[in-house]
Chain A
Amino acid sequence: MSFFSRLYRGDIHWDFVGNRRRWFTLSAALILTSVLALSIRGLNLSVDFVGGTLVELPNPEGVSVGEVRGALTDIGFEGARVQTTGGGEGVRVQTEELDSDQQAVVVAAVAAVTGANPGDASAQSVGPTFGSQIAASALRALIVFLAVVAVFISIRLEWKMALVGLAALGHDVVLTAGVYALVGFEVTPATIIAVLTILGYSLYDTVVVFDKIVENVEERGERHTASAIVNMSMNQVFMRSVNTSLTSLLPIGSLLFVGSFLLGAATLREFALALFVGVTTGTYSSIFLAAPLLAVWKEREEHWQRVRRRMQRKGSEDEFAARILDVVPEAETEGLPVALTGAMPRPPKKRRRRR
Chain B
Amino acid sequence: MRRRAAWVTLSTTVIVAWGLLIGTQLAGITPKLGLDLQGGFSVLLEAPEGTDRDVLDTAIEIIRSRIEALGGVQEPEISLAGERNIEVQLPGVADPERARKAVGTTGRLTFRPVLSVSPYGVSPLYVEAAAYQQSEEEAAAAQDGPESTTTTTTGESTTTTEETTTTGQTTTTTTVAEAEPIDLTPVLPEGITLCDLERNENGDLVVPLEDQPGCVDPETGFTLSDDPDKEAWYLNPEQDALGRVEAFHLGPALLLGTDLNDAQAGFSSRGGSGGFGVSSSGTGQWAVFLYFSSEGSAKFEAATEELSHYTYGDDRRRFAIVLDGEVVTAPSLASDIPAGQGIGGGSAIITVGGPTNPQQEAHDLAVVLRYGSLPVALQEQSVLSVSATLGSDSLRAGLIAGAGGLALVALVMLLYYRVLGAVNVVGLTVFGSIMLSVYAVLGETQGVSLTLAGVTGIIVAIGITSDSYVVYFERIKEDIHRGRSVRMAIDHAFRRSFRTIITADTVSFFGAVLLYVLAIGSVKGFALALGLATVTDVTVFYFFTRPAVALIARSRFGETGRLSIMGAAGKTPGVAQ
Contacts and interface: CB of A to CB of B under 8 A. Distances in A.
A197 B460 contact: yes
A72 interface: no
B514 A119 contact: no
Contacts of B478: 10, 236
B398 interface: yes
A327 interface: no
Interface stretch (A126-134, A168-176, A177-185): A126-134
Contacts of A141: 514-515, 518-519
Nearest to A131: B382
A263 B393 contact: yes
Nearest to B384: A124
Contact of B463 (A122, A125, A248): A248
B381 A268 contact: no
A125 B397 contact: no
A161 to B, nearest CB: 15
A125 B97 CA distance: 12
B413 interface: yes
Interface in A108-159: 119-127, 129-130, 133-134, 137-138, 140-141, 144-145, 148, 152
Interface string A203-229: 110011001000000000000000000
A121 B452 contact: no
A193 B523 contact: yes
A216 B551 CA distance: 32
Nearest to B388: A120
A259 B402 CA distance: 11
A58 interface: yes
B462 interface: yes
A140 B518 contact: yes
B380 A257 contact: no
Contacts of B96: 123
B519 A137 contact: yes
Given A119-B387, A145-B514, A262-B400, A125 B413 contact: no
A120 B390 contact: yes
Contacts of A200: 507-508, 511
Contacts of A129: 381
A250 B405 contact: yes
Contacts of A263: 390, 393, 397
A48 interface: yes
Given A247-B470, A265-B394, A134 B520 contact: yes
B21 interface: no
A25 interface: no
A259 B397 contact: yes
Nearest to A2: B576
Interface string B545-577: 000000000000000000000000110000110
Interface in A230-288: 236, 239-240, 243-244, 246-255, 257-259, 262-265, 267-268, 271-272, 275
A8 B570 contact: yes
A274 B520 CA distance: 19
Given A247-B412, A248-B466, A275-B460, A123 B393 contact: no
B384 A123 contact: yes
A267 B65 CA distance: 32
A251 B514 contact: no
A248 B467 contact: yes
Interface string B503-530: 1100110110011001111110011001
Contacts of A250: 405, 408-409, 412, 463
A190 B522 contact: yes
A251 B459 CA distance: 6
Contacts of A271: 453, 456, 460, 526
B522 A265 contact: no
B393 A104 contact: no
B408 A254 contact: yes
Contacts of A272: 456
A252 B569 contact: no
Contacts of B392: 264
Contacts of B36: 267
Interface string A280-311: 00000000000000000000000000000000
Nearest to B400: A258
A9 interface: yes
A345 interface: no
Given A9-B481, A247-B412, A255-B405, A122 B390 contact: yes
A201 to B, nearest CB: 8
B574 to A, nearest CB: 12
Contacts of A249: 463
A347 B503 CA distance: 27
Contacts of A192: 523
A5 interface: yes
A15 interface: no
B518 A267 contact: no
B226 to A, nearest CB: 18
A182 B327 CA distance: 60
A124 to B, nearest CB: 5
B381 A127 contact: yes
B188 interface: no
A148 to B, nearest CB: 8
B391 to A, nearest CB: 8
Interface string B128-158: 0000000000000000000000000000000
B526 A251 contact: no
Given A9-B481, A247-B463, A262-B400, A120 B500 contact: no
B404 A257 contact: yes
Contacts of A258: 397, 400-401, 404
B519 A193 contact: yes
B452 A56 contact: no
Contacts of A247: 409, 412-413, 463, 466-467, 469-470
Interface string B452-492: 11001001101110110111001001100110000000000
A10 B97 contact: no
Contacts of B304: none
A251 B402 contact: yes
A120 B39 CA distance: 10
Contacts of A336: none
B467 A244 contact: yes
Nearest to B417: A243
Contacts of B453: 190, 193, 267, 271
A43 interface: no
Given A204-B508, A243-B474, A9 B383 contact: no
B398 A204 contact: no
B409 to A, nearest CB: 5
A49 to B, nearest CB: 11
B100 interface: yes
Contacts of A75: none
A251 to B, nearest CB: 3
B474 A240 contact: yes
B518 A144 contact: yes
A189 B503 CA distance: 28
Nearest to B42: A124
A316 interface: no
B406 interface: yes
B389 interface: yes
B433 interface: no
B385 interface: yes
Given A119-B94, A193-B515, 11 more contacts: A58-B389, A124-B383, A126-B383, A141-B514, A208-B504, A247-B469, A253-B405, A254-B408, A255-B401, A267-B36, A268-B397
21 contacts: A8-B416, A10-B477, A122-B384, A123-B383, A124-B385, A126-B381, A127-B380, A137-B520, A197-B460, A236-B478, A254-B401, A254-B408, A254-B459, A255-B401, A257-B401, A264-B389, A264-B390, A264-B394, A265-B397, A271-B456, A272-B456
Q: Which 10 A-B pairs have the closest CB atoms?
A: A251-B405, A264-B393, A248-B463, A265-B397, A247-B466, A9-B570, A254-B405, A254-B404, A258-B401, A125-B383
